[in-house]
A = this chain, B = another copy of it.
């Protein structure tokens, strides 16, 4: 294919999507905030384009929506309308939607209303609740590009959908659109040749992150009703969630089905891609986890899913947390350091115990996971890129130059990874020697990335998240604060420890990232999803950010 071809195909695809918006909702360019308006977080609500009732709906949690639909105060249809309308505005602000199917979603909502009217029964725990989907989930009748121009119309419409989508649909959830991702979902910034870059509503000069960037940019604009599903193989849920101060859970593999989703690296098993929820509230996040795990019966269809119900966890009154402030490889930016200090201070102030955490094997585990991503020599990615001959983003260059590893070497890397995982687990157990309870810690708290916001093309280091993918541990993010350029000043005397550290710190510019989000990561062991969710709730309460999205941001 010629260069023109890939541009043509992309333009055609964009055009098809744009037609799916509802004309009367589209805001003229000159009425939108100008490009130099960076923070657009509250624009949708304050602009007057949303009706009061639409704001009320979208500012309700899933529990509240559910209650009001049940009580017939709101219909599923008007909930979906408000949801779509607000998403439409969000898209105009940050370019976050990929596939748009408002019409189908609204029709689905109408059918749910009719069903309820007729039977007096709700379809399930998700009856009438709109859920946002990252582009990799296949939806019946829609395409899935995962950022490849060659997948724009290939297939044009999926005939069957991802198991998680069909299960949620059975349980009453409503789907109206999907959100933008980077090519192959293997870049930390959500851009591609079809839809372009999704920017960050905290500061539109910065990236929304990736690969669940479209999801998180949208989420930050959608209010307390927001629940989105993203995926994570090296940080793809946690990185964008942290850059938008959202709550997310990266579960261990086996808790939430990934069956029938489209992958940029199909067949890779040395590290598992997982999916998880993203939300503006912990209530929504927990609502989702509990209901899909307990009612989805995912293991009946997905042979990789574990039949483990959503378990009750009781935390000790006095928490013990291990804090990692710096992995010794890349120093976090000032606002991240400040966020971690704030968490430490709040925990101690309320009588909890904080000990240090050694970033055991973080460097090597991050390298191993990188080797796994590239172990097919980029063959699958290149094949998809070659469908149209679209050019390769800089972030994806390693996939161009990688070599197709012999399996014998892969086995050796896997053996090493398993050994390091067990050593990491042993380090967790050994904390009992350092805690006053004599028991191991309840969680680790770490940066999500070095970045408290980051400009376009500058996200370079995923070590803080990728290590927990290598371990397959349960990890989440919670919001803490925002960058304040007056206090989050660069330490001009900092002496970097390596090239990556030097480049990263050098690129910090407080003016550039002013107002950006600063989150932290909370980590529990493998398959401790219930515990990490409970810790996220508890720590965000302690830090005072539990209601982050209902107060001013």
Contact = CB atoms under 8 A, between A and B. Distances in A.
Contacts of A301: 422, 425-426, 429
Contacts of A300: 425, 429
A549 interface: no
A268 interface: yes
A408 B414 contact: no
Interface stretch (A56-64, A137-145, A259-267, A445-453): A259-267
A304 interface: yes
A405 interface: yes
Interface string A362-394: 000000000000011101100000000000000
Contacts of A380: 408, 411
Interface centre among A266, A303, A304, A379 (most CB of B within 10 A): A303
B307 A411 contact: no
Contacts of A418: 303-304
Nearest to A424: B303
A426 B471 CA distance: 31
A408 B383 CA distance: 11
Interface in A398-413: 404-408, 410-413
A377 B409 CA distance: 11
A162 interface: no
A306 interface: yes
A527 interface: yes
A267 B410 contact: yes
Contact of A407 (B377, B415, B425): B377
Contacts of A410: 267, 407, 410
B379 A408 contact: yes
A360 interface: no
A78 interface: no
A287 to B, nearest CB: 24
B527 A307 contact: yes
Nearest to A254: B306
B406 A406 contact: yes
Interface string A273-310: 00000000000000000000000000111111011100
B405 A407 contact: yes
A431 interface: no
A107 B422 CA distance: 31
A373 to B, nearest CB: 11
A425 B304 CA distance: 11
A327 to B, nearest CB: 20
Contacts of A299: 526
A269 interface: yes
Contact of A422 (B266, B302, B413): B302
Given A406-B405, A407-B405, A267 B415 contact: yes
A527 B375 CA distance: 30
A418 B257 CA distance: 13
B377 A421 contact: no
Nearest to A372: B407
A166 interface: no
Contacts of A408: 376-377, 379-380, 404
A410 B404 CA distance: 11
B413 A267 contact: yes
A270 interface: yes
Interface in A412-445: 412-415, 418, 421-422, 424-426, 429
Nearest to A428: B300
Contacts of A376: 406-408, 411
Contacts of A375: 407
Contacts of A265: 411
Nearest to A413: B267
B303 A422 contact: yes
A524 to B, nearest CB: 12
A369 B412 CA distance: 19
A50 B406 CA distance: 55
Interface centre among A269, A407, A412 (most CB of B within 10 A): A407
Nearest to A259: B422
A375 B376 CA distance: 14
12 contacts: A259-B422, A267-B413, A267-B414, A268-B411, A268-B414, A300-B425, A306-B527, A376-B407, A376-B411, A377-B408, A405-B407, A407-B410
The 7 A-B pairs at the shortest CB distance, nearest first, are namely: A267-B411, A376-B408, A379-B408, A267-B415, A404-B406, A303-B421, A375-B407
